[in-house]
Structure 1
Amino acid sequence: MKKIFGLILSLLVLTGCWDRREVNDLAFVTMTGYDKIDENQFRTSVQIPLPGAMGGAGSTGGGGGTQGGPYYIDSEIGRNIRESNDLLQRRMSRKTNFSHRRVIIIGEELARSGFKKTLDVLLDQPQSRITAYVLLTKGEALQILNAEPHLEKLSSEALRELSKENEGINVKNVLNDIWRPGKDPVIPVVLNNETENGTSKDKKKEAQLEGYAILKEDKLVFFTNSEETIGAKFLLNKKNHKNYTFPVEENGEVNVHFEKVNNKVSYRLINGKPTFTISFNISASIMQNEPNLELNNQETYDQVTNSLESSIQKQVLTLLNHSKSEGIDVYGLGWYLFRHENRLWERNLKENWREILPDLEVNVKVSSKITRSINPGINIKE
């Protein structure tokens, strides 16, 4: 009797997989692009792999679904991001699933008008990963989804690898920088560039990372130029920035490989106003000595290290001064004060920090040491 009662009870409790959704019924989105088309008009673009075309003949390289490639790209326009998603779903036979999304592309117009609400929508989707990489582009995000990488079947996978290699920014990082007092986001920029392969007809639009977007809260203010881009890598301590070329007066250029790059910030209060010093401690080895300088000579060694230090200092200050003039705290100096001088921050600096920034004194000091030349068996300086 007890066995029969237990069997009946189990039938009542075990309801089965009544709400299951088979893998064959899902469309896995690997990359999403968001654009602002006009006032109250937003476009969502998605890249969805086609499993049947991933390993078959004729699936080399990229290409949209209509071209027989290994992925399908589609987009829709709505009055907000959520509506554009819903409208896009109407013509898909499978339910879109965002649990495998690796990359999110933000178009320039949307970035200039503010995109925090877009990221908030992602947080509302339980499937969304806050570890998905965020990239900005000049122009529309849709064009980046149509990139045609040579080395990967999916442009989303190519961009994921590029972002990972360059210590990219993810959704969590961006939202943290928006929410933190005294810190503004810095996001890598992605562009489509045609491959440089001479007269070959196999030219494709490869996606590549090209500089940074500097934001004030969630709004794009400017894109970095070449000098500011290098300054950002040092300032944000991007450890992927391993090789560096700099001029040595009129003698040519020297290329070094960074063994160690550390930076730290210190401050002083003068009449209640902070003055900052950002110090860099660098250890490097020579990779290419184009002017064939004799580094065993102390005078020549000092000339090279001084050139290295002044070059880095100039590039870091270029970015700092530009961002400060726009009232942007690219390094997070205000966030540093929030943590170390909270009473001063809350009473005197919090409300008008952006007005203080343009006149804020920030010094940059660089100390470098070259330890080895190209031949690892030759010590240049102990």
Structure 2
Amino acid sequence: MKRIVAAVLPLLVCAGLLSGCWSKKELTDLAFVIAVGLDKTKDGKYLASFQVVNPGNVAGATQRGGGAAGVPVSIYTSTGDSLVEASRKASEKVSRLLYYAHTNLVVIGEEVAREGLDGVFDAMERNNQFRTTARLVIARGQSAKDVLTVLTPVDKISANQIIKTLEFSEMAWGQTINADVWQAIRSLASSGRDLTVTGVTIEGNPKRGKWQTNVQSSVPDARVSLEGLALFKKGRLVGWVDGPPARGIVWVLDRIKQTNITIPWKGKKEAIGYRTVRGKTDIKATVKHGRPTVSVHIRAEGDVSEARVPIDLADAGVLFQLEKDIERHVKNEVKQAIETAQRERTDIFGFGDAVHRVDPRLWKKIEKEWNDRYFPNLDVMVTVDMYIRRTGLRNKPYVEAE
């Protein structure tokens, strides 16, 4: 009898400690939120937009040829004085519980971005469902709601298309940044680095983009595209950067994976194309007589991707001259980027963090005045080393001299 009690008693104790499925949620009771958009209403409240997946339509679209099924996502909106309030009020319109564990994209409207992102990320970080690995973009010239309502032809869920475009654009072109919420939180928490985020806009007619006919045409009436980098200062949007200066920012941030640079040659513009295959940027700060300076060194390797003029790529002297021209081109882009940031008084490069590492005592003294006083007048030395490793299968182009 004692043996039986000794064997059964531990089992009974363990059974009492087990919680069971007290927090279970049935799949049929959940609304999977793939993307969240944040705007401001005229009375200053938050307008939250939730892109919710319609599972049956997504699966059906694969079997029935895309547009034959219903729309793959639905957009629900609600307003509130805070993000949590707006999220809770959405329960008045959705027949299921909003579930954020699969939220992969956050779209912030310009008005919200200009007012500040501190409160936005505080609510997201405290939510135990929300993942800070969600991608982050700023709606440029459009509301976040309009961006999420555009239906996309290739990726049925438009949030996925934006995410993939961010990944491939940074990898192949280098004028955008694939940033997530966690990176934004780290930048906001740091006094020596400000935030930069990729902008997203709508090409075409936003009103027609939300209709199913938008994905039934080879030329959609509206499509979502990336446009420029948003510059933040202390969590508030202060300006935009486009084109080569935007790529200069990505160079300094050491986020360039691949890109294509076109340079002139002997009076002809856009004559030689250079494709980078790898790059590395090092930032170092030094302090002399209480005055900080920063050096930026960029080193990259690449191939000749295009030659539209007569040129002998087998000549070592020619390759050396090409490398120097490419170095000047990249150096000019980087200088434009640094001058733009200094003009906006926002240290998006993390130069302040570099100064902090090399001289913590000095940083403690200048930290509060860094953006407005020290950074705009900071001496930044830029050095660039570019190498041509391959010229392709042809050393002499088809183009003949005139």
- CA displacement at 1:239 relative to structure 2: 3.3
Q: Is the 8 A contact 2:227 2:242 kept in 1?
A: no
Identity of aligned residues (%): 24
Cα shift at 1:336: 0.6
Partner residue, 1:141: 144
Q: Aligned runs of 1:266-345 on 2, under 5 Å?
A: 266-345=284-363
1:173-252 paired onto structure 2 within 5 Å: 173-194=183-204, 202-248=219-265, 250-252=267-269
Is 1:48 paired with 2:52?
A: yes
2:156 corresponds to: 153
Match in the other structure for 1:259: 277
> Cα distance 1:279–1:153, how it changes in 2: closer, same or farther (>3 A)?
same
Give 1:107 shift: 0.5
Alignment of 1:357-372 (within 5 A): 357-372=375-390
Are the equivalent residues in 2 in contact too, given 1:33–1:142 (CA < 8 A)? yes
Amino acid corresponding to residue 361 of structure 1 in structure 2: D
For the pair 1:30 / 2:34, whether they are aligned, the reply is: yes
Deviations 1:51-93 (A, max 9, x none): 1111225975589xxx930111111122221111121121211
- The structure that is helix-richer by fraction is 2
Distance 1:269 1:234 in 2: 24
In 1, the alpha carbon distance for the partners of 2:65 and 2:256 equals: 33
**TM-score if structure 1 supplies the norm length?**
0.89
Assess, with a 3 A threshold, how the Cα gap between structure 1 residues 181 and 18 changes in structure 2: closer, same or farther. Answer: closer
Letter in 2 for 1:89: S
Determine the C-alpha separation between the residues in 2 that align with 1:7 and 1:280: 65
2:112 alignment partner in structure 1: 110
Q: Is the 8 A contact 1:62 1:147 kept in 2?
A: no
How far apart in 1 are the matches of 2:11 and 2:302?
A: 73
Question: Match for 1:181: what amino acid?
Answer: S
Q: 1:264 to 1:249 in 2, by over 3 A?
A: farther
Provide the C-alpha distance between the structure 1 equivalents of 2:113 and 2:65, rounded to a whole number of angstroms.
33
Given residue 301 of structure 1, which amino acid in structure 2 is its aligned partner?
L
Q: Can you list the C-alpha shifts for 1:75-118, whole angstroms capped at 9, x where unaligned? A: 11222211111211212110000000001001100001101211
- Give ranges in structure 1 of 5+ residues lacking alignment: none
- Give 1:124's aligned amino acid: R
| Aligned-partner Cα distance in 2 for 1:76–1:60 | 33
TM-aligned CA deviation for residue 48 of structure 1: 0.7
Q: How many residues matched? A: 370
Tell me the distance in 1 between the aligned counterparts of 2:164 and 2:227: 15
1:61–1:148 contact (8 Å) kept in structure 2: no
SS at match of 1:208: strand
Residues 256-278 of structure 1, C-alpha deviation per residue, up to 9 Å, x if partnerless?
A: 12122111123343331112221
Alpha carbons 1:59, 1:69 under 8 Å: kept: no
Q: Which amino acid aligns with 1:188?
A: T
Distance 1:376 1:281, change over 3 A: farther
Shift of the 211–60 alpha-carbon distance from structure 1 to 2, 3 Å rule, reads farther
* 1:189 aligned counterpart, secondary structure: strand
| 1:299 shift after superposition | 4.4
Q: What secondary structure sits across from 1:21 in the alignment?
A: coil
Is the contact between residue 48 and residue 87 of structure 2 (CA under 8 Å) also seen in structure 1? yes
1:298 positional shift: 4.4
User: Does the CA-based 8 Å contact 1:62-1:71 persist in structure 2?
Assistant: no
Q: Is the 8 A contact 1:145 1:155 kept in 2?
A: yes
Indicate the SS of the match to 1:363. strand
Task: Using the TM superposition, give the Cα deviation of residue 15 of structure 1 relative to its aligned residue in structure 2, in angstroms.
Answer: 5.9
Gaps of 5+ in 2: 171-176, 206-216, 397-402
Tell whether the 8 Å contact from 1:62 to 1:148 is kept in structure 2 after alignment. Answer: no
Contact 2:103/2:131, CA 8 A, preserved across alignment: yes
Corresponding residue for residue 130 of structure 2: 128
Residue 362 of structure 1: SS of its match in structure 2?
A: strand
Q: Give the corresponding residue for 2:179.
A: 169
Residue by residue, what CA displacement relative to the aligned partner does 1:98-145 show, whole Å, maximum 9, x if unpaired?
000001001100001101211111112100001111111113111110
The structural deviation recorded for 1:13 is 4.8
Secondary structure of the corresponding residue to residue 30 of structure 1: strand
Look up the equivalent residue of 1:226 and give its one-letter code: G
2:88 corresponds to which residue? Answer: 86
Distance 1:60 1:267, change over 3 A: same
